[in-house]
Structure 1
Amino acid sequence: MKRFLRRAVLTLGVLALALGVLLLIGLREVPVPERARFAIDLGALRALAGPEDALPERARADLVGQSFFPEFIGIAGGGAARMPLGFYVWQFVYSDGTHAIIDAVHSKASHPTLTGAYHDDAWQRQERAVGAASVMVVTHEHNDHLGGFTESTHFERLGAKLKLNAAQRGRPRAGGVARDLKGEATLESGPEGSLHKVAPGVVAISAPGHTPGTQMLYVRLKSGREFLLIGDIAWQGTALERVRNRPKLPTWILGEDSLAVAHQLRAILDFKKANPSIDVVVSHDIGQMEARFATGRVTRGLE
């Protein structure tokens, strides 16, 4: 009996040590470098966005769902406090009444895998907007950004209006949509940092890393207001403020290229510093979105 207890204690000790080592390694990060391997060119983005009279007039967004996880999962060096996450759909409205949708949120049926509120009224607004959209595009192929299109009752009629690059039609390691999207790309992509026009005023910047199909989306309004939607390159604005990547544990689970994400963070920080008037949008930061609604930079709810 004593021998059994000694073995049990030894086994538990070894397991605890192994778990500790795993956590120690898993909570480290690939650090953000001092220099990025590519740069974001605002002049080129503005030129590709097109003439002023063709640009969208209004920016709108809606909070469809919410969740949370510990800060140390989302930001290397973070604490144990809950980090709230918001799932937002974006709408950019043109003068002729047509509109573009960016990042439509998954349905309520997909939400139980997450912990947090789901807003049925916002889903209904998103459904109407998706059905009437002239163009749709996503920052990447995870379900909380693409699922609102693939789970929509309008999906079969979206056709080429849903702009997906080749990698976005594949399945990421985790978090992808249930629907098979195999087929021809409806949006060009290229090397990291390359630019691809989506619609008047909307330009994609190829940025594989968080997923193979990740891209940033630049949007310019007639008023001169400009946005850079960076998707999930960072989950919270504090990651940019602290200049911190995600820790290795979630990047292993997601299949991220952490080095690519680190260079993209540096490129975004350099772009933000050089162009402070550009609104850099991280996908899930509720506090930052509430500030946009409060100041009128973005209107709450979809048309």
Structure 2
Amino acid sequence: MLNRIALLLILIVAVPYYWLLMDPGPTSVAPCDIDIARLRTLADSQKGPRPVAIEYAAVATNSEPGTYLIAGGGLRSEQTGVFVWRLLTPGGDTIINVGLTKDQAATWGYDNYRPEIQKTAESWLLAARRVIFTSEDLDHIGGLVTLLVEDRSVAKKLIGNPQQLETIKALFPSFTQTITPAPAGLMAPYAYAAIAPGIAIVRTPGFMGGAQMVYVRLQDGREYLFAGDTAPMRRNVEWQRPRSRYAAEWVGREDRRQTLAWIKGLARLKEREPGLKIVYGHDLGWLQDQAEGPRFAAAPPTRLPVREHKSAR
């Protein structure tokens, strides 16, 4: 009788644990190929100087169990972060994502919020020529809360697809009239579009309807593909596994099957193009890995007013 009770208790715990945190989803999903030749052609089609370097601002960080963002990834903690990327370009920078506020970071469970780093990212954004996003999730667009209030002209710098811009307009209805319409090249899912010299986008719906990847070729020829939330961690691609079902479908609203197809496409691309560096959306450990990471420069902190600094503790 005791053995039966023990077995029942194990099943009660083990089955939901496997289904929510370990099951990788349908293994028969065919990969979605990413046309790197097309991205290169589009990036080269724009006249002008390409970006010369890339910097990042890690505005919020946290430790997550590996199995949360990689199905079956184990309980060992992974270092994650919310990043703003700066593509330094003669004539005007391009910024990828805008960070988030302290309250938003707390809501999303980030234990370590750096207001002085977010302030640096905001200075980048205010001076930039254009702003693009890897998705419409709050940890990618939330920083607009303070930016749009500080400078309305930021709204005219936003380059997004329809799903992204509709989410931004819903969050900030008073700025609806000043937000630039979506470019024609980004209207359709799975579309490819040129953004600026050395920069192109492919829409990759799955994580969210407005998810997209950003291709960047620097002046010295180095190439990067910002995968966004499609592949938040390096092991998503190495293991070809999406987020856990708990993260993707219980907490989020992700199409895991479609996301897995893109992850398989990234794995194929990585094998075919070893010189192309995939930039994972939230992998702080990989980003700071001097051997395997991209060796981007980290943003310097901005000195905050004493009162603001104390309130941010």
Matches within 5 A, 1:269-284: 269-284=267-282
**Distance in structure 2 (CA, Å) of the matches to 1:68 and 1:272:** 26
Q: Does residue 255 of the first structure (1) align with residue 248 of the second (2)?
A: no
Aligned to 1:218: 215
Superposition TM-score, scaled by structure 1 size: 0.84
Q: Does residue 265 of the first structure (1) align with residue 263 of the second (2)?
A: yes
Aligned to 1:238: 235
Percent sequence identity over aligned pairs? 25
1:151 match: secondary structure: helix
Q: CA deviation at 1:19?
A: 6.5
After superposition, give the CA deviation of every residue in 1:60-107 in whole Å (9 maximum; x if it has no partner): 1121110222221111112122222111111111123x1010012101
Q: CA deviation at 1:291?
A: 2.9
Residue 61 of structure 1: which of 56, 63, 77 is its match?
Answer: 56
**Distance in structure 1 (CA, Å) of the matches to 2:292 and 2:188:** 37
Aligned to 1:87: 82
Superposition TM-score, scaled by structure 2 size: 0.81
Q: CA deviation at 1:149?
A: 2.8
Q: CA deviation at 1:289?
A: 1.2
Q: CA deviation at 1:31?
A: 3.9
**Distance in structure 2 (CA, Å) of the matches to 1:296 and 1:268:** 17
Q: Does residue 162 of the first structure (1) align with residue 162 of the second (2)?
A: no
**Distance in structure 1 (CA, Å) of the matches to 2:133 and 2:63:** 22
- Which is further off, 226-235 or 71-80? 71-80
Aligned to 1:189: 186
After superposition, the Cα gap between the structure-2 partners of 1:195 and 1:76, relative to the gap in structure 1 and judged at 3 Å, is same
Long gaps (5+) in structure 2: 302-313
Q: CA deviation at 1:16?
A: 9.3
Matches within 5 A, 1:97-108: 98-108=92-102
- Which is further off, 15-24 or 187-196? 15-24
After superposition, the Cα gap between the structure-2 partners of 1:167 and 1:297, relative to the gap in structure 1 and judged at 3 Å, is same
**Distance in structure 1 (CA, Å) of the matches to 2:130 and 2:122:** 14
The one-letter amino acid paired with 1:41 is D
Contact 2:193–2:202 under 8 Å retained in 1: yes
CA RMSD of aligned residues (A): 3.1
Q: Does residue 42 of the first structure (1) align with residue 36 of the second (2)?
A: yes
Contact 2:29–2:257 under 8 Å retained in 1: no
Contact 1:220–1:226 under 8 Å retained in 2: yes
Contact 1:91–1:302 under 8 Å retained in 2: no
After superposition, the Cα gap between the structure-2 partners of 1:14 and 1:279, relative to the gap in structure 1 and judged at 3 Å, is same
The one-letter amino acid paired with 2:24 is E
After superposition, the Cα gap between the structure-2 partners of 1:191 and 1:33, relative to the gap in structure 1 and judged at 3 Å, is farther
